[in-house]
Structure 1
Amino acid sequence: MNKTELIEHIASNADISKAAANRAIDALVNAITETMKKGESVTLVGFGSFMVSTRAARNGRNPRTGEVIKIKKTRVPKFRPGKNLKEAVN
């Protein structure tokens, strides 16, 4: 399912216009993004949690030359599914 299909699904199930569904999805994504930029997590009970994790600095190798390179530490987004979502999928 892509964003357009999701908008259509939400619009029909919630009995709202496609434009309103699009604004709602955009607002949700923006809220999650802004919260995660601050390093905080977002929890939707039953669905799951969006969080930021820090990946430690490490050494890697350039596959072309075999030279050892330093990879900086970085923050990465993570998602942990909730109990209801896990049960629905299985």
Structure 2
Amino acid sequence: MNRTELIEHIHAQTGLSKKQAQAALKAALTAIEYALADGKEVQLTGFGTFVTARRAARKGTRPGSGEAIQIPAKTVVRFRPGKYLREAVS
């Protein structure tokens, strides 16, 4: 499912216009983005939790040449599915 399909689904389920559904989705995703950028976790009960984690620097190999390289540390986003999502998928 892509963004357009998600907007269509929100439109169909809520009765909002497509423009309102798009604005609602954008607002929700922006709120999640800002919270994660501030180092907060975002917990959507039953769906899951978005958290940030620090990935340590590590050694890697350049695919084309096989040359050893140093991959820098960085912050990444992780998602832990909630109970109801895990059950729905399994």
Amino acid aligned to 2:35? T
One-letter code of the match for 2:89? V
Indicate yes or no: 2:42 matched with 1:81: no
Q: Which runs of 5+ in 1 are unaligned?
A: none
Q: What is the aligned partner in structure 2 of residue 4 from structure 1?
A: 4
Task: Sort the Cα spacing of 1:66 and 1:9 in 2 relative to 1 into closer, same or farther, 3 A.
Answer: closer
For 1:52, the equivalent position in structure 2 comes to: 52
Q: TM-score, normalization: structure 2?
A: 0.90
CA RMSD of aligned residues (A): 1.3
Equivalent runs, 1:8-87 vs 2, <5 Å = 8-87=8-87
- Unaligned residue ranges in structure 2 (runs of 5+): none
* Residues 42 and 65 of structure 1, relative CA distance in 2, 3 Å threshold: same
Q: Does the C-alpha gap of structure 1 residues 66 and 8 become closer, same or farther in structure 2, counting only changes over 3 Å?
A: closer
TM-score when normalising by structure 1: 0.90
Report how far residue 86 of structure 1 moved: 0.6
Counterpart-to-counterpart distance in 2, 1:19 and 1:64: 45
SS at match of 2:16: coil
What is the CA-CA distance between 1:65 and the residue it aligns to?
A: 4.0
1:35: Cα distance to partner?
0.8
Structure 1 segments of 4+ aligned residues over 4 angstroms from their partners: none
Structure 1 Cα separation of the partners of residues 12 and 61 of structure 2:
51
Aligned residues: 90
Identity value in percent: 48
Q: What is the Cα deviation at residue 24 of structure 1? A: 0.5
Distance of 2:42 and 2:14 partners within structure 1: 23
Cα distance in 2 for residues equivalent to 1:44 and 1:4: 22
